[in-house]
């Protein structure tokens, strides 16, 4: 087991700075999800860890082993870093059979043949690919290729395994299965896993800790999934991790109002929220007949496990998700009805700049 | 494991990895410098410098000589007509075989490919035998049959040269356009029909503009090949004193007995020829410049076929006639002449013998020439296969500064005429720089390498583009060193492309005559040179016998290649 530490990593492609003084730690034996919008530098960070990109500054250590140190001119070549990786496009070698693919890392470690075979078969069992050992990747489905890639990443029992968007190309059901599979494999092996994705749903399902990256490559928040969801560090994380309603707040006289074209009073707005926007998640908007804030129901869509509402509050569109449990206890409302709203767990953020990232 | 690795060792290792890329890049530049840059530089230097001082006199003298001017004029005329006629013919047959419901398509397509692999100078030889203005077999037959007072045709003319070149070069356009037509989305034409356009309008307004890039690419190939072509004009034009720039260069050097002065004059003429080719390229670009259309997709589709109805039978006959004329007649003629007792005798069974074959193979030079051609072609093929792949790898994967230059340098020799390249090679490797390869097989090998390098470079390049970099990176992360990942992953994946690159070089090198005609020595004749000199020496039946052997060899080799490339597994 080993932790992974990035310290003050700066990476440039030509004049374009991808990461600037970036620091992050993946704790030993945990699954950490690195989440951020496409193009924010997640994959670049992974490539630096693998030794495929050379940072300008900083250090990268795994456990007590220094892999990269710009100041001390240490740069362990990729093949000596012993990190398992599943690339986004699988990178399963098309001219090798499944078992050849999985055996390759062991072959490069010059293991005895019998051991290679035994360990390769063992890992193929874990990813449920034993029946396909002599297939070429061209004969496999995307999901099967992915599992070969995962097997190849796990076969050397690396302390650290990196999964770079490993399931984005799978269909929904297989995606679910693979997430559970990854979780179980991690528990068996106790490896440290760095899971990179732009999809916050799979991240939430999998992770022990989460790190959210902004578009500009800086770290927005690092914490448990609960931290991130309930106590988002800033507006970026709040918006990135889920869909929300935003309602501006203005002062008239001594009172604070929700500005929805018309001013709607809402008791309990904090004093310092003037001029800010109130962000509320879709499932944090609950129906409350006693609330003075009345909205009109435009439409209701039944989604199986929840109801999705479009409401009009003043001139503002409000979206609400109502769980089936709430629907049963509080009842549903239909198109054209008026309903009182209460906002749970509101967050107050400054207004967005004209051209947000 | 390896956790307590010494940090310094790791650092050293890290630097060594960088150096392998650098090493490959340096090797690339050095080899290309030796093979390509030095010969080209030597031509330019010798055309403009004399004994170390700049002098434009030689160049002026050559440029204003009447013989050279008429050669230049002939070159342009032949190339222009060959390009126009070849393009029309190529497009017409591409459309006929690609889009109409003409019968026996598969067979005809295969037959239309034959001129592509057949050496044009053998075709010129055959037509010379048939339609020679003084003694052609067909000419004499027509004279006696119709009681004409003079020979009806004269192949030893500009028109004759154009005719033979067209029949061998139209496949350039044909192949390009046929494949473009096949890859074109049929819905584009169908929507035009649905919108109310007539069949003719669709062809004119939709189909032709869409395949225009393919047409212009093929036409460009005809133009540059014809400008640089040696074989056909030399066989058909010599007797009548019709020279083109390439044959004029050969004549200048041949007449001077290989003296330095002659080679210098050749160098000056070479600069002229290169200028003409460059001018043609620029003009072509101006006239035919069009955007590329993405509408032509990589995947294959089944286009709707156009019904010829009443025109079917006549068009079919035209196609058959064309095939007989350009494929069978020359082939049959060469074979027949190879069995004749003496040139000029009528083609009756009584005059047939296999003595010519025995004579040819008894003569010492013949087997040697076949051996020489095999050695040089195989060596050039193998060396270029690796060197071309190396250049492709550096350009595609390492991407050093100056990769564009690398690309241009490796393609450069193919766009300059073979004759010119030979002169550069002579100037570079016959003692001027302290190395003498003249009269050895090596000098031919060096010229072939320069000439054909771009073939393997292009095929390997295309294959490498398909190999996503993550495949090699995955190997690195799995513990393979840079060289191991190359050997285990990249090379196996592009091996099929490398093999076809080899054959792309080996086959044309086997039948090549343009380059080696200036480079051969007493013991280093190639197959092409041997046929050419047998014919030059008047031993026409023997030349035909050897040509028949060469054609047989080419057909067998082609069959083997087709078999090999068919069997290879798609990756």
Structure confidence at residue A49 (pLDDT) = 92
Contacts of B401 in chain A (CB under 8 A): none
Going by pLDDT thresholds of 50, 70 and 90, the confidence category of residue A355 is: very low
Higher local confidence (pLDDT), B114 or A73: A73
Distance from CA of B19 to the nearest CA of A (A): 12
Query: Which structural domain, as residue segments, surrounds residue B422?
Result: 21-55+347-571
Token pair of B535, please?
A: 């014919």
Do B394 and B300 lie in one domain? The reply is: no
What average pLDDT is seen over chain A?
A: 87
Are B69 and B45 in a shared domain? no
* Average pLDDT for A145-158: 88
Beta carbons of B367 and B530 less than 8 angstroms apart: no
Give the mean pLDDT of chain B: 82
Separation in Å, CA of A2 to nearest CA in chain B? 11
Clarify whether residues B334 and B357 are in a common domain.
Answer: no
C-alpha to C-alpha distance for B539 and B235, rounded to whole angstroms: 14
A273-286 pLDDT, tens digit each: 888 888 898 888 88
Q: Distance from B188 to chain A by nearest Cα, in Å?
A: 32
Ordered alpha helix ranges (H), B65-157: 66-99, 105-112, 114-117, 120-131, 137-146
Nearest to B478 among A63, A76, A152 (CB): A152
* Chain B residues closer than 8 Å to A156 by CB: 478-479
CB–CB contact B479 A152 (8 Å): no
Choose the most confident range, by mean pLDDT, from A129-138, A162-171, B176-185: A129-138
Same domain, B259 and B125: yes
Query: Is a pLDDT exceeding 60 seen at residue A9?
Result: yes
Share above pLDDT 90 across residues of chain B, in percent, rounded to a whole number: 11
- Closest Cβ–Cβ partner in A77, A81, A82 for B17: A77
**What is this model's ipTM?**
0.80
B interface with A, Cβ–Cβ < 8 A, is: 1-5, 7, 10-11, 13-15, 17, 468, 470-471, 473-482, 484-485, 488-489, 492-493, 570-571
> Which of B317, B338, B359 is the C-terminal boundary of a domain?
B338
- Do B13 and A152 make contact, defined as CB atoms within 8 angstroms? no
Smallest CA–CA distance, residue B170 to chain A, in Å, is: 39
The verdict on residue B147 lying in a domain is yes
- Segment B99-126 shows an average pLDDT of 83
Structure tokens at A174: 């297989």
Do B146 and B50 sit in the same domain of this protein? Answer: no
Of B1, B7, B478, the CB nearest to A104: B478
Question: What pLDDT score does A68 carry?
Answer: 92
**Contact assignment for B488 to A82 by CB distance below 8 Å:** no
- B5 part of a folded domain: no
Domain-located, residue B295: yes
**Model pLDDT, residue A45:** 92
Task: Please tell me the distance in Å from A45's CA to the nearest CA on chain B.
Answer: 15
Same domain, B386 and B239: no
* Residue entry with tokens 């001027």: B432
User: Do B2 and A82 lie within an 8 Å CB cutoff?
Assistant: yes
Contact B3 A64 (CB under 8 A): yes
What is the pLDDT at residue A195?
92
Are both B93 and B151 inside the same structural domain? Answer: yes
Please indicate, yes or no, whether residues B384 and B317 belong to a single structural domain of this protein.
no
What is the pLDDT, as a whole number, of residue B9?
Answer: 37
> Is the predicted pLDDT of residue B300 greater than 80, yes or no?
no
User: Which residues in A lie closer than 8 A to residue B468 (C-beta atoms)?
Assistant: 89, 91
Tell me the HSE value of B469 on the side-chain side, using a 13 A CA sphere: 8
Find the CB nearest B476 among A79, A88, A95.
A79
> Do B146 and B179 lie in a common domain?
yes
Residue B285 lies in a domain: yes
A/B interface, count of CB pairs below 8 Å: 102
Domain boundary, last residue among B290, B307, B338: B338
pTM, whole model, 2 decimals? 0.76
Query: Is pLDDT at B14 greater than 50 in this prediction?
Result: no
Q: How far apart, in whole angstroms, are the C-alpha atoms of residue A116 and residue A93?
A: 18
Nearest chain A alpha carbon to B13? A77
Which residues of chain A have a Cβ shorter than 8 Å from any chain B Cβ? 50-52, 63-66, 69, 72-85, 87-89, 91, 93-95, 104-105, 108-109, 138, 152, 156
Contact present, B529 and B513 (Cβ < 8 Å): yes
Residue B468 to residue A76, Cβ atoms within 8 A: no
Together in a domain, B267 and B380: no
Over residues A26-42, the mean pLDDT reads 89
Give the one of B480, B492, B570 whose C-beta lies nearest to A79's C-beta: B480
Q: What is the pLDDT of residues A288-346, one digit of tens each?
A: 888 888 888 998 888 888 888 998 888 888 899 888 888 888 778 888 888 888 888 88
Q: Give me the half-sphere count of Cα atoms (radius 13 Å) on the Cβ side of residue B514.
A: 27
User: What's the pLDDT tens digit per position in B198-214?
Assistant: 878 888 888 888 888 88
Q: Do B474 and A87 touch (CB under 8 A)?
A: yes
User: Within a domain: residue B2?
Assistant: no
Please report the pLDDT score of residue B47 as a whole number. Answer: 80
Residues of B in contact with A80 (CB under 8 A): 2, 5, 10, 13, 479
Q: What pLDDT score was predicted for residue B200?
A: 82
Q: What is the pLDDT of residues B42-78, one digit of tens each?
A: 888 888 887 777 777 777 777 788 888 889 899 999 9
pLDDT of residue B58: 77
- Burial letters for B52-80: b for 16+ Cβ neighbours within 10 Å, e otherwise? eeeeeebbeebbebeebeebbebbbebbe
Average pLDDT over residues B486-491: 91
The confidence band for A172, taking pLDDT boundaries of 50, 70 and 90, is confident
Minimum CA–CA partner of A149 in chain B: B474
Closest approach of B321 to chain A, Cα-based (Å):
46
pLDDT of the residue at B66? 83
A-chain CB neighbours of B14 within 8 Å are 74-77
In total, how many domains does chain B have?
2
Domains and CATH numbers, chain A: 4-239 (3.40.50.300), 245-349 (2.40.50.140)
Domain co-membership, B392 together with B302: no
Chain A residues touching residue B10 (CB < 8 angstroms): 74-77, 80
Identify the pLDDT of residue B285. 67
Q: Is the pLDDT of residue B291 over 60?
A: no
Shortest alpha-carbon distance between residue A90 and chain B (Å):
8
pLDDT of residue A1: 67
Spell out which residues of chain B touch residue A145, defining contact as CB-CB under 8 Å. none
The residue among B477, B490, B492 with the most chain A CBs within 10 A of its CB, best to mutate, is B477
Domain membership flag for residue B11: no
Average pLDDT value for residue range B302-307: 71
- pLDDT of A250 reads 87
Whether residue B8 lies inside any domain: the answer is no
Residues of A with Cβ-Cβ distance to B470 under 8 angstroms: 87-89, 91
pLDDT at A268: 80
Kindly determine whether residue A79 and residue B477, on different chains, have CB atoms separated by under 8 Å: yes
Task: Among B471, B474, B484, pick the best mutation site for testing chain A contact (most A Cβ within 10 A).
Answer: B474
Find the mean pLDDT for residues B427-453: 85
Interface test mutation site (partner B, options A28, A43, A81, A95, max chain B beta carbons within 10 A): A95
Average of per-residue pLDDT across A159-186: 81
Question: What is the C-alpha to C-alpha distance for residues B554 and B374, in angstroms, rounded to an integer?
Answer: 12
Cβ contact A79–B7 (<8 Å): no
Residue B15 lies in a domain: no
Confidence grade of residue B563 (pLDDT, cut at 50, 70, 90)? confident
What is the average per-residue pLDDT within B97-114? 82
Quickly state the pLDDT bin for A60 (edges 50, 70, 90).
very high
User: Do B274 and B410 belong together in one domain?
Assistant: no
Residue range A235-270, pLDDT digits in tens: 888 888 888 888 888 888 888 888 888 888 888 888
Inter-chain CB proximity A79 and B5 less than 8 Å: no
pLDDT-above-90 percentage for chain A: 25
| CATH number assigned to the domain comprising residue B523 | 1.10.3720.10
> Which one of B338, B355, B371 terminates a domain?
B338
């Amino acid at each position: 087991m080993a932790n992974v530490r990035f310290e003050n990593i700066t990476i440039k492609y030509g004049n374009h700075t991808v990461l600037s003084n970036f620091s992050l730690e993946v704790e030993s034996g945990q699954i950490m999800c690195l989440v951020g919008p496409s193009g924010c530098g997640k994959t670049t960070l992974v490539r630096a860890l693998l030794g495929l990109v050379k940072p300008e500054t900083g250090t990268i250590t795994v456990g007590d082993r220094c892999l990269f140190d710009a100041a001390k001119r240490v740069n362990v070549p990729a093949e000596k870093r012993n990190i398992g990786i599943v690339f986004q496009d699988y990178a399963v070698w098309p001219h090798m059979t499944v078992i050849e693919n999985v055996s390759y890392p062991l072959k490069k470690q010059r293991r005895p043949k019998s051991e290679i075979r035994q360990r390769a078969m063992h890992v193929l069992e874990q990813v449920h690919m034993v029946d396909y050992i002599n297939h070429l990747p061209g004969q496999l489905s995307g999901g099967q290729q992915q599992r070969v890639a995962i097997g190849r990443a796990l076969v050397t029992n690396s302390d650290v395994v990196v999964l770079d968007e490993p399931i984005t190309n799978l269909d929904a059901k297989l995606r679910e299965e693979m997430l559970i599979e990854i979780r179980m494999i991690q528990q068996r092996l106790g490896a440290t896993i760095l899971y990179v994705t732009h999809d916050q749903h799979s991240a939430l399902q999998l992770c022990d800790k989460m790190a959210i990256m902004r578009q500009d490559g800086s770290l927005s928040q690092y914490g448990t999934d609960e931290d991130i969801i309930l106590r988002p560090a800033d507006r970026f994380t709040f918006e990135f991790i889920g869909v929300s309603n935003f309602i501006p707040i203005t002062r008239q006289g001594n009172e604070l109002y929700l500005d929805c074209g018309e001013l709607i009073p809402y008791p309990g707005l904090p004093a310092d929220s003037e001029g800010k926007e109130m962000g509320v998640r879709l499932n944090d908007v609950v129906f409350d007949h006693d609330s003075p804030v009345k909205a009109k129901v435009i439409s209701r869509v039944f989604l199986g496990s929840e109801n999705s509402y479009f409401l009009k509050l003043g001139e503002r569109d409000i979206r609400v998700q109502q769980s089936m449990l709430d629907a049963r206890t509080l009842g549903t409302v239909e198109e054209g009805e008026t309903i009182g709203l209460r906002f749970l767990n509101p967050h107050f953020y400054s207004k967005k700049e004209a051209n947000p990232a | 494991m390896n956790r307590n690795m010494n940090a310094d060792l790791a650092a050293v290792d890290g630097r060594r990895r960088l150096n392998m890329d650098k090493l490959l890049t340096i090797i690339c530049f050095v080899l290309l410098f030796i093979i390509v840059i030095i010969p080209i530089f030597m031509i330019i230097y010798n055309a403009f410098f004399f004994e170390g001082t700049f002098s434009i006199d030689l160049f002026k003298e050559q440029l204003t000589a009447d013989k050279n001017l008429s050669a230049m004029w002939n070159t342009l005329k032949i190339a222009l007509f060959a390009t126009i006629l070849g393009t029309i013919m190529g497009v017409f047959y591409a459309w006929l075989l690609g889009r109409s419901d003409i019968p026996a398509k598969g067979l005809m397509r295969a037959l239309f490919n034959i001129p592509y692999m057949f050496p044009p100078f053998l075709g010129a030889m055959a037509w010379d035998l048939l339609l020679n203005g003084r003694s052609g077999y067909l000419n004499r037959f027509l004279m006696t049959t119709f009681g004409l007072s003079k020979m009806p045709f004269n192949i030893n003319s500009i028109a004759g040269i154009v005719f033979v070149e067209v029949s061998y070069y139209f496949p350039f356009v044909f192949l390009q356009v046929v494949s473009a037509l096949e890859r074109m989305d049929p819905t584009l034409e169908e929507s035009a029909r649905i919108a109310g356009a007539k069949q003719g309008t669709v062809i004119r307004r939709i189909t032709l503009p869409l395949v225009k890039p393919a047409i212009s690419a093929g036409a460009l190939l005809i133009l540059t090949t014809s400008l640089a072509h040696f074989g056909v004009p030399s066989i058909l034009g010599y007797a009548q004193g019709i020279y083109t720039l390439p044959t004029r260069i050969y004549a200048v050097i041949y007449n001077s007995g290989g003296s330095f002065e002659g080679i210098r004059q050749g160098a000056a003429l070479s600069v002229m020829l290169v200028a003409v080719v460059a001018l043609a390229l620029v003009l072509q670009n101006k006239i035919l410049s069009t955007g590329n259309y993405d509408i032509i997709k990589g995947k294959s589709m089944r286009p709707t076929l156009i019904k010829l109805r009443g025109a079917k039978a006549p068009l079919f006959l035209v196609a058959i006639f064309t095939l007989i004329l350009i494929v069978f007649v020359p082939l049959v003629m060469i074979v027949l002449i190879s069995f004749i007792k003496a040139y000029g005798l009528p083609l009756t069974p009584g005059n047939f013998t296999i003595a010519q074959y025995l004579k040819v193979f008894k003569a010492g030079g013949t087997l040697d020439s076949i051996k020489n051609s095999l050695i040089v072609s195989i060596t050039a093929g193998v060396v270029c296969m690796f060197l071309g792949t190396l250049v492709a790898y550096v350009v595609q994967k390492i991407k050093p500064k100056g990769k564009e230059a690398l690309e241009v340098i490796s393609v450069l020799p193919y766009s300059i005429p073979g004759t010119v390249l030979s002169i550069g090679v002579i100037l570079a490797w016959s003692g001027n720089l302290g190395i003498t390869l003249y009269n050895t097989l090596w000098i031919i090998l060096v010229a072939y390498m320069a000439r054909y390098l771009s073939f393997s470079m292009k095929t390997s390049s295309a294959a490498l583009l398909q190999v996503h970099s993550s495949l090699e990176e995955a190997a690195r992360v799995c513990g393979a060193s840079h060289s191991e990942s190359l050997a285990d992953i990249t090379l196996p994946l592009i091996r099929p492309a490398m093999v076809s690159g080899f054959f792309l070089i080996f086959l044309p090198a086997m039948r090549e005559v343009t380059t080696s005609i200036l480079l051969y020595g007493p013991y280093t004749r190639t197959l092409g040179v041997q046929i050419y000199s047998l014919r030059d020496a008047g031993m026409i039946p023997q030349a035909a016998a050897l040509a028949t052997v060469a054609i047989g060899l080419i057909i067998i080799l082609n069959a083997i290649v087709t078999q090999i490339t068919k069997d290879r597994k798609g990756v």
